[in-house]
Amino acid sequence: MDRLIVHPCTKPLNGTVRVSGMTKNAGLKQMAASLMARGKTTLSNMNSVADLSIMCELLESIGAKVVKENDTCYSIDSSAELTPEAPYELVSKMRASINVLSPLLATVGKAKVSMPGGDNIGLRKLDMHFRALEKMGVTIELEQGYIEAYVDKLVGARIVLEFPSVGATENILCAAVLAKGETVIENAAREPEVKDLCNFLTKMGANIEGAGTSTLTITGVDELMPTSHSIVGDRIEAGTFLMACAIVGGEIALEGIAISDLEMVVLKLGDMGMKVSPTKDGIWAMADTPLNCVDVSTLPFPGFATDYMPFAVTLMSVSKGTSIITENIYDNRFAFTTELVRMGADIRTEGRHCVIRGVDRLSGAQVSAADVRAGAALCLAGLVADGETVVHDTMHVWRGYHDLAKSLTKLGADVKWESN
């Protein structure tokens, strides 16, 4: 039972941190896509997180060979015959497991994948995945908690997504690159991790036009080849550090991330009074606290990402004025605010809206992390809470961060992991 022990900062944050690779939201998806190339594919800039271990186990259970080449580099060899079944005990731990569905259909013609798990932040239906794959010739049956899918040959189709779902876009992409004919995805997700998947698949020999836009045109090819790829920097981790600086105050520099990947976060922080600008290899930021509250609504990229929302709630809790945060993506993402209230935050939630009145300081308390970003947000709250804050259930935090405590400590915070 690990926990995070956080003490209040006695001075502003200062220093430089290199942002990790986006292992959770980009690297894991590319590991799944590597199943479509016979041979050894190498992915670098893959910092270790808990979900990475699960994906390694999952791919090996399917028949791939996964080797940790060094601290940030993994190879996936899918030369051997693949077993098209993703077992419950692994898939139930991580939603990214659904990304093996299309690669298995494209290479083996069938797949049996347990319904995916992950953070309890609300309903995340797979309807769009299923409708798109059925248009591409796939037969799908749901039996005893498993998705069972079959196809003789994937065929191109025009897919219009009712919502720019990242997961659906990724699954359709992986099906389309080896399908017969042309596939057009309208209202596709534009997140940097989706663009990075397009770049990765293109390196493997896929024919994809429109990467980074809302319309993707994919012309199927006969085969994909193994390749090497360095995954994109983690924009959510970068946003965590920017929010930490906004909460505590100080001057920090982030390396290994493009400011364009956090454009809406940077805009909102600027409206609050923080100074943020690009550097040659990342982002520079400076804040004098307290900042001014602003209203925030979560939206798909390039809007304000839902993963930033818990950090924004914490920031508004210690900013000047009143703010309203609206969560448009998931229906259960405000559950963690009860823990912030335990720390003295003035928060009221109603449906998808959260009203926050800023207070001068929070109070340290024993709190529990309900999911990855909520756990990180509670850690940030502890940086401006009188006394000691103990964040329990930090196995969730490990799912998305390589070593959050170490990174914050490099900036001058007093945070450490502790195990029983």
Query: Which residues are known to be catalytic?
Result: 119
**How many CB atoms are located within 10 Å of the residue 361 CB?**
11
CA nearest neighbour of 254 among 55, 5, 20, 9: 20
> Which helix (H) or strand (E) segment is 69 a member of?
strand 65-70
Specify whether the CB–CB gap between 418 and 400 falls below 8 A. no
Give the β-pairing of 215-219 and 207-209. Answer: antiparallel
Strands (E), 190-256: 207-209, 215-219, 228-230, 250-255
CB 248 within 8 A of CB 384: yes
Task: At 284, list the tokens.
Answer: 């520079």
Q: How far apart are CA 340 and CA 315, in angstroms?
A: 11
Cα–Cα–Cα angle for 397, 398, 403, nearest 5°?
A: 100
Asked if 261 and 235 count as a contact pair (C-beta separation under 8 A), the reply is yes
Give the span between the Cα atoms of 233 and 12, in whole angstroms. 25
- CA 402/CA 387 separation, integer angstroms: 26
**Cis preceding-peptide flag for 302 (omega within 30 of 0):** yes
CA atoms of 107 and 153, how far apart (whole Å): 10
Structure tokens, 355: 């009203």
Backbone angles phi, psi at 391, to 5 degrees: -100, 115
CA-based Rg of the chain, rounded to a whole angstrom? 21
Alpha-carbon gap, residue 407 to 403, rounded angstroms? 6
The tokens for 339 are: 């823990």
Cα gap 211→286, rounded to integer Å: 33
Strands of the sheet with 2-7, listed across from one edge: 366-368, 389-392, 2-7, 414-419
Would you tell me how many other CB atoms lie within 10 Å of the CB of residue 139?
12
